[in-house]
Amino acid sequence: MQTLKSPPVILPSQKVQIIAPSGALREWERFENGIRIWRDRGYAVTIPEDLSQPWGYLAGSDEQRCQQFITAWNDPESVAIACARGGYGSMRLLEKLDWNLLSDRPKWLIGFSDITALLWGLAKHKGIGGLHAPVITTLGNEPMRSQQQLFDWLEGKVDQILLSGLGWNNGKASGILLPANLTLATNMIGTSLCPDLENVILAIEDVSEAPYRVDRMLTHWRWSGLLSKLKGVAIGRFSQGEVSTPSFTMEEVWRDRLTDLGIPVVTNLPFGHDGENAPLPVGCTAEIDADNGTLTYYR
């Protein structure tokens, strides 16, 4: 994988579009809190009238959500697209999305969890890097530090971010940062949306996945041959995943499935669900240092 085209820095007063490409929006108070943070920052936030018209567990039909994304992306006045929430549904859009309908002009797509599918789709088909970062409904629950990191990166106030965790030896490596929700990424293996993972530092997080299910996903990655291509693995938060019955711990699963790869692994990094969720730019240059337990990435 090569470095991706990074969208230009943005400034307060510019237009930001909100879309709901995944699950139906039900957390309206949290949504309003997230919108308030953007507007208090000075951004002109636009919310489409059809933002969420629940269609089962989705925020609308595939056609509605797909068109919402296309319209927002092609709006020449907007500089960023912030996703309302995750859940499930963005993978379904990619069956219908004609990438030729999207402008080649880079702009920020911001979200995480289920939004992985769109972030990877942009990387694969347009060569454009987005931002794996809080969605609107989680932004208000973020500590001030990660909120500040988000806007500092978008507004070009920092050229690098360093995250600290727990390293498992194997030294250092440099590569291209590719963040993802593990479940979404696993389900994209073997499809036309899976980016080339050569030279990649994979940064993964998830929620409500028991250790045995994480084991199963990593075993699938091993059989696919993709783990052997990676330069390193950066592991964020895997929340709500431990089980009360006798089980391997999540850390034991990581060690069992990853340590024989001979690449740097850093765990306990501050990104993912249910806690601090540092912004991770898709497709930027990064360095993972397992001796010191750090992940550093650069503009």
| Separation of alpha carbons 34 and 202, rounded Å | 28
142 is catalytic: no
Catalytic residue among 22, 52, 78, 113: 113
DSSP 133-191: ---HHHHTTS-HHHHHHHHHHHTT--SEEEEE-EE-SS-EEEEEEEEEEHHHHHHHTTS
Cα separation of the two ends of the chain: 17
| CA gap 265, 127 in Å, rounded | 26
- Select which of 22, 52, 90, 273 is catalytic: 273
| Structural Rg of the chain based on CA atoms | 18
Per the structure block, which two tokens stand in for 98? Answer: 């004609």
Q: Locate all alpha helices (DSSP H) within the chain, ordered by sequence.
A: 28-40, 62-74, 90-96, 116-126, 136-139, 144-154, 182-188, 211-224, 250-258
In angstroms, the Cα distances linking 237 to 6, 105, 145, 213, 294 are 26, 33, 17, 15, 15
Task: Choose the catalytic residue: 142, 205, 209, 276.
Answer: 205
The residues near 83 (Cβ < 8 Å, ≥ 6 apart) are: 18, 19, 20, 21, 22, 109, 110, 111, 115, 118, 135, 136
265 DSSP 8-state letter:
E
Active site residue 239: no
**61 carries an active-site annotation:** no
Give the type of residue at 87: G
Do 296 and 173 touch, CB atoms closer than 8 A? no
Active centre residues (catalytic) = 113, 205, 273
